[in-house]
Amino acid sequence: MSSYKQIIAGLSDDFKAREVARLVYFHCDHFEPWQTFGGRDALDERHSEHIRMFADGLERIDYARKLTLFYKPNINFAYDRDRDLIRAVDDDLVGFLPRSEDEVAAARLNMKYLATHSKHELQIHIHHEGYTYNTSHTQPDVVEFYKSPHARELDGQRLLLAIKLAKDAIRKETDVEFDSWYFVHGHWALSAADDDSCTITNELELLMRAGCRGDFTFPAGRTHVNPRLEVPYFCRAIQAERAYDLQEADPEFAYGNNGAARSKFFVWASQMKHNRASIDYFSSWVRQNLEQPEEWARDIIHQSFAVDRTLFFKTHCHSMFPYYREAKRVPVFPHAHPGIQTLFSLVFDAAATAGVEIEFATVSEVYKRFVAAAHVPPNGYALSIPGPPIMARHRDTSAAVPAQTPPSTNGALQSSGPAVLAPKSDPKSSDYGTAAAAPAAPQPVPRQPGEPAPLLIEDAVKIVSRIAKRSISPAEIRISQLVGQLPPFQTYHEVGSGLIVLPLLLSLMGRESAGVIVNPEQREAMSDCFDALRWEYPRHARNCKLIFGEFPDTVLDRDVSRSLAVVTHLAMPTSNALFTGVVRGFARYGAVIFNVDRFVVRREKDQEREALLRRLETDGMKKPMPLFELGAGERYYLMAGLRPAGAQ
């Protein structure tokens, strides 16, 4: 391993290669302190104290003293015509609950301290998916309500009202007034980019009307909403899905463009994406990235936006996420995590070694620097958006079914829950042949005191369908049912090269599970799914892990003799030696459920399947037993290594 001095020298050369003279670091925090967890209310005194601890603790870290906190005040809503609510129009079904003096005082107690005793900047973070139309609604009366064109037409007025209430709340809690401000969109879905959270196509115009100068949502945790441009830019506030990503919006390079700032909307974009900008270490992939901080630091230097010899290094996270606070004696906020400190030390020490001036800024300071710069691009300000248009994400709601609303994490009364999508039809036992005709009773899942109750499979399927943005296949449902009927294993590993969902399903059903991701291209998508699960069901998500790397190398240091492996689709480069290595990797497991038609390579002929079964026995497995068939391409077997299986 290289010494710290050698690493710094190499990174310093990277700064010099980009001819960087100044490094500007700024952070955009999705700051949501008022969440219910640990049996406490959102405005519980202990939760409120976390804000003071955040302000005091980060004051000791140079790069963390001046962050931008896109703050989401505790403003709740309800669907109720009979209650005294603050409504966009008098006949609206949904409205906001007036805040009591006690609620304001509880929030002010520590938000005012943060505003007074720190250099952090407050901006506005809005989650409007609960009180505007989108495909995530599941309560039958709310779904019915939004079938009305009039109900949908009020979305813009509801958003403007929510912004006004957020400004009022911040003023009462901190004495901070907003003339102009900047925005981060809840669930990243700016301008109807993903209809499970937003369908407001004139959102940019509404934001500008309310005094917003620009958006710092990107790079997004949902990669499909990212703009195609990879430089900060201004655009016209046209009415369209993904309005920020259309050529019709006349995008212009932002740096030095004071003229465009007078009438256009600012959008931050860069080559650096979520996998390098996020420092949310509750995500397993962030913790894994921190094991190679030199690589991460080098990507920061190479991928951050640079202009006029100035490199702008932007990060984001959710500093008040429950993972950082629940069951902690002292919360460890992301900027204070030892691995993050190492990463940032590499970047800033390398910059200093290269003679680079280091500046810590807020988003308003970054924006002012952009519009004040005396810079004209060689080819002018006009930009051409590369590649074909990206369509906004639309969810097929034809199969949507009502479901129980999960507990709110922000204290909102009667707030609508997440979208749920079921398979096109519930699978019947006849779909699986005689093996499924009379299923055994599900085996109970051992549970320690305080652990969450396992979800029923039908509820787990609905949740994961939404998170993974696809219907759960009959094979995945059948395997989940089989897991409940088999004697319990210690853990359950799905090994695959696609977007695998069984670990998510099984974790909700109370099983210790892991996804072994062998395809690097699926890493970010799987991490997004896992993050969504952890965000909405943090206690269940503790049962789930992601493991990245080549199989079987990535599990060689684990005892899997009491684990069940599942292989629905595994595609890998193969040779005789490599194939034998893969099989012997599976032979270490207590048992393996696998699809004979998609095991390492695709098979379509009976002779090919029979050859595989013989080969498996030759390479150390017991004779595989047929489990069920779902037609061409899906023939499932159960096999075990020659050692005794680890099931109990």
- Same domain, yes or no: 439 and 535: yes
Query: What tens digit of pLDDT does each residue of 55-76 get?
Result: 999 999 999 999 999 999 999 9
**Does the structure show a pLDDT above 60 at 419?**
no
Q: Are residues 214 and 307 in the same domain?
A: yes
d(CA 5, CA 349): 10
pLDDT in tens, 330-355: 999 999 999 999 999 999 999 999 99
What is d(CA 414, CA 376) in angstroms, rounded to the nearest whole number?
52
The total of structural domains in the chain comes to 2
Verify that 223 and 314 share a domain, yes or no: yes
Query: Taking the mean position of all CA atoms in its chain, how far away is CA 182?
Result: 21
The verdict on residue 382 lying in a domain is no
Residue 43 pLDDT exceeds 90: no
648 occurs within a structural domain: no
Average pLDDT score over the chain: 86
Residue 313 lies in a domain: yes
pLDDT above 90: residue 150: yes
Q: In terms of pLDDT, which residue wins out, 584 or 114?
A: 114
Cβ atoms 79, 415 nearer than 8 A:
no
The per-type count for the chain, helices as H runs and strands as E runs, is 20, 22
Across the range 129-142, mean pLDDT stands at 92
Residue 258 has pLDDT above 80, yes or no: yes
Co-location of 231 and 128 in the same domain: yes
Q: Looking at the structure, do residues 328 and 437 belong to the same domain, yes or no?
A: no
Whole-number Å distance between alpha carbons of 148 and 151? 5
Cβ-contact 67, 27 below 8 angstroms:
yes
Work out the average pLDDT over 476-497: 87
Percent of the chain topping pLDDT 70: 89
User: What is the extent of the structural domain holding 224?
Assistant: 4-372
Note whether residue 416 is domain-resident: no
94 shares its domain with 228: yes
Same domain, 440 and 364: no
* 217 and 326 together in one domain: yes
* Pair (92, 180) in one structural domain: yes
Tokens of 257: 């463009």
> Which amino acid, 177?
E
CATH of the domain at 565: 3.40.50.150
Residue 431 confidence (pLDDT): 24
37 assigned to some structural domain: yes
Q: Specify the range with the lowest mean pLDDT, choosing from 122-136, 189-203, 518-532.
A: 518-532
Statement: the pTM of the whole predicted model exceeds 0.95? no
Query: What's the angle, vertex CA 248, arms to CA 245 and CA 252, rounded to 5?
Result: 70
Q: Looking at the domain assignment, is residue 539 inside a domain?
A: yes
Q: Is 43 inside a domain boundary?
A: yes
Q: In this structure, is residue 493 part of a structural domain?
A: yes
